[in-house]
Amino acid sequence: MLQPKRVKHRKLHRGRMTGKATKSNRVDFGEYGLMALEPSWITSRQIEAVRLTLTKVLRRTGKLWIRIFPHKSVTKKAAESRMGKGKGTPEFWVAVVKPGTVMFEISGIDAVMARKVLKQSGSKLPCKTRVIVREEMNYEGF
């Protein structure tokens, strides 16, 4: 699972996910990409699940780029614990994804198979996604 080697602060505020993505919002490396259409937190387990489905199809012929990384820690308090006594311990790591973020990119396989596998891997994520191609990118109306 992905997680940072070291962080400045272990426990972070929840923050807001308003607005559209200004970086990582186009296919830069591969031929096909998986773009988020709504804001969400993508956990490191979900990123790993998508990576496994994509690498199973790509094998050694294609190439995969993961454009997101879980930098944010999410804390939880123990069940049935009383109020107060500070913030809970970090439980898992998430990547904050805004609408328009290209999360995964692939190349080296044919178009039909690429669309099929990206659509299948998009179902493992908690947000709506769209498969986009490098040539026919429309940056305004994602």
User: What CATH code is carried by the domain that includes residue 119?
Assistant: 3.90.1170.10
What is the structure's pLDDT at 26? 92
What pLDDT sits at residue 50?
95
In a domain, 110, yes or no: yes
Q: Please report, as a single letter, which amino acid is at residue 134.
A: R
Asked if residue 142 is part of any domain, the answer here is no
Task: Report the pLDDT value the prediction gives residue 142, as an integer from 0 to 100.
Answer: 56
Q: How many domains does the chain have?
A: 1
Q: How confident is the model over 40-82, as pLDDT tens digits?
A: 999 999 999 999 999 998 888 899 999 999 999 999 999 999 9
**Mean pLDDT score, 114-136:** 92
Domain assignment of residue 108, yes or no: yes
| pLDDT value of position 60 | 86
Q: What number is the average pLDDT over the span 83-90?
A: 92
Question: What number is the average pLDDT over the span 16-22?
Answer: 92
The continuous run of DSSP H or E covering 107 comes out as strand 102-107
Give the DSSP per-residue string, 72-102: EEEEEPPTTPPS-SS--EEEEEEEEE-TT-E
- The reply to whether 72 falls in a domain is yes
1 part of a folded domain: no
CA distance 87 to 77: 7
3-state DSSP assignment of residue 120: helix
Range of the domain at 123: 32-77+86-133
Helix axes 44-58, 111-122, angle to 10 degrees: 160
